[in-house]
Structure 1
Amino acid sequence: MNNTTDTTPEALRASMVDTIKQAGHARIAAVEQALREVPRHRFVPEATVEDAYANIAVITKRADDGTALSCATVPTVVAMQLDQLDIQPGHRILEIGAGTGYNAALVATLAGPSGHVTTVDIDPEVAAQARQALDETGHREVRVITRDGSLGAAEHAPYDRIIVTVSAFDIPPSWRDQLAPNGRLIVPLRWRGQSRSIAFVRDGDVLGSDSVRLCGFVPMIGQDNELSGTIDAGGLVTLYWDSDQDITLAALDGVLSQPKTPAWSTITVGGSESFDGVWLRMTGTQPGTCRIAADKAAVTDDLCTPATPSRSPALVEHDSLAYLTYRRVDGGAELGAIGHGPTGERLAQRLCDEIRAWGNARTTEPVITAYPADTPNDQIGADHVITKRWSRLVVAV
């Protein structure tokens, strides 16, 4: 491992790659080599060189309200997606979300002189800055197009690989149609309040996953069908759900003021062990799965105490809900649920059933299949289908 205190870009880049490797990414030798070669600091010139090589997202453009509009993604996540993408020399590749141009430079390095890389961004300013950085770092061969990313770039299709570097709520038909048979689409997809970087492989009109990883990205502009609203008088607790779900905010008004009904799963987690797999599993089995977020005051006042206050899974059914929580036990934490409302106790028990199912198979990765939106139920053959505008998802656990 590189323990140097040298602050030159070269030394900091070597340290960045060490961090990425320690996190279990850059498993492909070519990905590691590309990360060691491409100078990330030259794509984020307004950041310090230390921040350029830290394991953080570098925000490069914000909205007037402070919301991040564009950034250089966290290096460990960049490497994770490149492992999922599995680029081979000569591949034709489409990137949705040009960002700083850094990821396109890495992709171009992996595709080699015989490869072809096109990157698309809806923001002219972002696209222009990416173009400039790519030119200045010797990646003039990368095509930069200013366009709505949901349209793709049919003029250079088909693509062996498509990588999406913004959080998408759905899979536009253009991405599937412009992907070559057996090609790979890597997309940070959002559903039921959570997001995963999914590696899909095309089989006809169907996309099937072979890799699903936890992630977080800046949302794609103009492609959000997530709804939200507060469920308490003080506006401290917010629920987030998808437009296809049978959830009505008015039915939940004041539900948190009703008695709590806790339930405990006997499943424990220790230290930094992630339990996000519970949420992923729930999306495939529980139609009412959504996200709950509680402000600090709500937690302090014991109004709502989710396991992770800013983002925890919840189950909603008509006028009742339950959400994931935990309590400290020797050696870690026991996962459980807190229910509210007429059927809150039953919902809490159902959530605990999901926790136990996950706890008995923690490393099992669900398979996610994306069908075109017009695919009839009898061709899907699943009990629970997540319906979006352009696709229908099945999460098989």
Structure 2
Amino acid sequence: MTDPPAESQRTARPDGQPREDGVKDVDRAAELRADLVEKLRAEGKIVSPAVEAAFRAVARERFLPSDVPLETAYAYDDAVVTKRDEHGVALSSVSAAYIQARMLEQAELRPRATVLEIGSGGLNAALIAEIVGPQGRVVSVDIDPEVTDRAAKLLDEAGYGSRVRVLVADAEHGVPNEGRIDAIIVTVGAWDIPPALLAQLADEGTLVLPLIMNGVTRTIGFRREGDHLVSTSVEVAGFVPMQGAGRHPERVFVLTDPNGKQVKLRFDSGVPADMSPLDAVLATERTEAWSGVTIPHRTSFADLYLWFAWHLPGFCLLTVDDGTELANERGTWFPFGAVRGGGFAYLAIRPAMEGAGVEFGARAYGHDRELAAMALVKQIRAWDRDGRHAEPVFGYWPAGTDVTRIPADAAVMDKTHGVVTISWPAP
């Protein structure tokens, strides 16, 4: 493990210019870094001494834009965007501390390992370098040369330049001149797993990636089990989507209300063949249906919309314009819905449990609104019965493997290079 950069080095901003009150910044950063590590340990995101030591050694602020406050650099769950396109869409970012820590734990890194990081930024590669040690090998790739140039510069300034090889490459095609890799950590949203990456993964290696499944992302740790992969860990997180050959564009359908405001339905897959029955749907009467399924306040229900993504035909994500009826009712619904014929429904909540929680239900528009609402309610009840109290297990079966061995109770989702499966253990 390398020594932390010297105090005089850590007073520099990521752009190489001295910070004002550098000594004060160094002291404050050290204090915030220690606090962050304790928070990550308390929340179970850091569980190993190696990941803890890496987080104590690496100065996060050195890899962030110079105008980012130290409090943001050392926040538990703040991601920082480092590049946007001309429309303001994030193209590259530094992940929140909690998901960086969790993914490093998922990868089960060890000293002397060779690790491939897909999606460069510098900070995560420095953390990996600390864990694998001076005799380990870290390769960080990104499709954007502007991103790799920045990452290489920051790594060099922080003392990791000789420890991390930064390359411009489209990871869909693998990484040239690299042999078998002990661990692959993907830090961008991936719709599929490229065969070239699997070919480079060592037989006993680990793959950690944010896998997009019908619009819902889970960061999954995988290991090989014969000819396929089986999950060893799962984390909820969102990521900037993959660019290049592995990019999977979503389809967006626009619904316009009587005032000209828009609700957009975003489909990852399973797009209904005919969306014309939803023309002028927002001008129709709205209905509600309630499930009887309740949940206390401040309790995660992230697996509910994962369940929808796998079991609800016509599943989609919603974005809404200010001024729409939905926008005016924010706080009473969530942006997950489904289309059924001439109706579309979305997940809604209302107070329950004598004010200590909420009940899940659906609101719906269109001449098939009752059908759409009840489809959603049916799956809320199914999740409550079969998926609410168990962590799902994922599998990935590359094309050419024996899919007849997929467990009978598993749901299957087709991808370009194989299929993903999910199973919820019996309650």
Cα drift, residue 379 of structure 1: 5.3
Q: Which runs of 5+ in 1 are unaligned?
A: none
What residue identity is the alignment partner of 1:316? Answer: V
Residue-pair matches, total: 389
Q: Select between 34-43 and 251-260 the one with higher mean Cα deviation.
A: 251-260
Contact 2:171/2:197 (<8 A) preserved: no
| Cross-structure match for 1:41 | 61
**2:3: which partner in 1?**
none
State which structure, 1 or 2, has the greater radius of gyration over its C-alpha atoms. 2
Residue 396 of structure 1 and its aligned partner are, at CA, apart by 2.1
2:40 to 6, 12, 20: 20
Look up the SS of the partner of 1:208 in the other structure: strand
* TM-score where L is the length of structure 1: 0.89
Q: Distance in 1 between matches of 2:156 and 2:44?
A: 31
Change (3 A) 1:244 1:373: farther
C-alpha distance in 1 between matches for 2:221 and 2:316 = 23
* Contact 1:196–1:214 (CA under 8 A) maintained in structure 2: yes
Q: Deviations over 1:31-84 (max 9, x none)?
A: 122111111111125233333222311222222222222121111111111121
Q: Is the 8 A contact 1:298 1:305 kept in 2?
A: no
- 2:369 corresponds to 1:344: yes
Q: For residues 319 and 52 of structure 2, what CA distance do their matches in structure 1 show? A: 37
How much does 1:27 deviate?
1.8
For residues 159-218 of structure 1, the C-alpha deviation after alignment (integer angstroms, 9 at most, x for no partner) is 121100011222211222211123211111112222111112123442222222110111
Kept after mapping to 2: 8 A contact 1:96/1:149:
yes
**1:117 Cα deviation from its structure 2 partner:** 1.2
Match of 2:415 among 378, 388, 391: 388
Structure 2 counterpart of 1:79:
101
Match of 2:145 among 102, 108, 124: 124
**What CA distance in whole angstroms lies between the structure 2 residues aligned with 1:103 and 1:364?**
31
Q: Which residue of 1 aligns with 2:4?
A: none
Residue of structure 1 in register with 2:340 after alignment:
317
Q: Is the 8 A contact 1:167 1:218 kept in 2?
A: yes
Q: Structure 2 CA distance, aligned partners of 1:302 and 1:9?
A: 41
Query: Aligned runs of 1:282-301 on 2, under 5 Å?
Result: 282-299=308-325
Q: Distance in 1 between matches of 2:338 and 2:423?
A: 19
2:333 aligned counterpart, secondary structure:
coil
Q: Cα RMSD between the aligned structures?
A: 2.5
Q: Could you list the runs of 5+ residues in structure 2 that have no partner in the other structure?
A: 1-24
Which AA in structure 2 matches 1:336?
Answer: G
1:137 and 1:305 mapped to 2: Cα distance?
Answer: 43
* Distance in 2 separating the partners of 1:31 and 1:301: 42
- In the other structure, the counterpart of 1:250 is 276
SS state of the match for residue 168, structure 1? coil
CA distance in structure 2 between the aligned counterparts of 1:244 and 1:231, rounded to whole angstroms: 18
**Distance (whole Å) between structure 1 residues aligned to residue 328 and residue 62 of structure 2:** 47
Q: 1:255 to 1:207 in 2, by over 3 A?
A: farther
Q: Do residues 152 (structure 1) and 179 (structure 2) align? A: no
Q: Residues 302 and 50 of structure 1: is their aligned pair in 2 closer, same or farther, counting only changes over 3 Å? A: closer
Contact 1:180 1:202 in 2 (8 A): no
User: Which amino acid in structure 1 is aligned with residue 363 of structure 2?
Assistant: I
* Partners of 1:261 and 1:339 within 8 A in 2: yes
Q: Which residue of 2 aligns with 1:91?
A: 113
Code of the aligned partner of 2:393: V
TM-superposed CA distance for 1:235, in Å, is 4.5
Residues 133, 285 of structure 1: alpha-carbon distance in 2 compared, 3 angstrom cutoff:
same
Q: Cα distance, 1:249 vs. partner?
A: 3.2
After TM superposition, the structure 1 stretch with the greater mean CA deviation from structure 2, 189-198 or 254-263, is 254-263
Aligned-pair CA distance for 1:369: 1.7
**One-letter identity of the residue aligned with 2:413:** I
TM-score, with length taken from structure 2: 0.83
Q: Match for residue 174 of structure 1?
A: 196
Indicate the residue corresponding to 1:273 in structure 2.
299
Q: Which amino acid aligns with 1:284?
A: W
Q: Tell me, what secondary structure is at the counterpart of 2:297?
A: coil
Does 2:394 match 1:368? yes
Q: Bigger shift: 382-391 or 150-159? A: 382-391
Aligned residue for 1:266, secondary structure, equals strand
Q: Tell me, yes or no, if the aligned pair for 1:315 and 1:351 is still in contact at 8 Å.
A: yes
Percent identity, please. 38
1:30 to 45, 50, 54: 50
Question: Which residue matches 1:183?
Answer: 205
Is residue 194 from structure 1 mapped to residue 219 from structure 2 by the alignment?
Answer: no
Alpha-carbon offset, residue 300 of structure 1: 5.5
Q: Is the 8 A contact 2:270 2:313 kept in 1?
A: no
Q: CA deviation at 1:228?
A: 1.0
Paired AA for residue 178 in structure 1: Q
- Secondary structure of the residue aligned to 1:225 is coil
Conserved? CA contact 1:256–1:303, under 8 Å: no
1:138-158 per-residue CA deviation (whole Å, 9 max, x = no partner) reads 222211111112223142231
* Equivalent residue for 2:248, pick from 224, 227, 239: 224
Give yes or no for contact 2:206–2:222 (8 Å, CA) kept in 1: yes
CA distance in 2 between counterparts of 1:105 and 1:150 reads 23
**Structure 1 range deviating more: 76-85 or 299-308:** 299-308
SS of 2:337's equivalent in the other structure is: strand
Distance 2:341 2:31 in 1: 56
Aligned AA (1:227): R
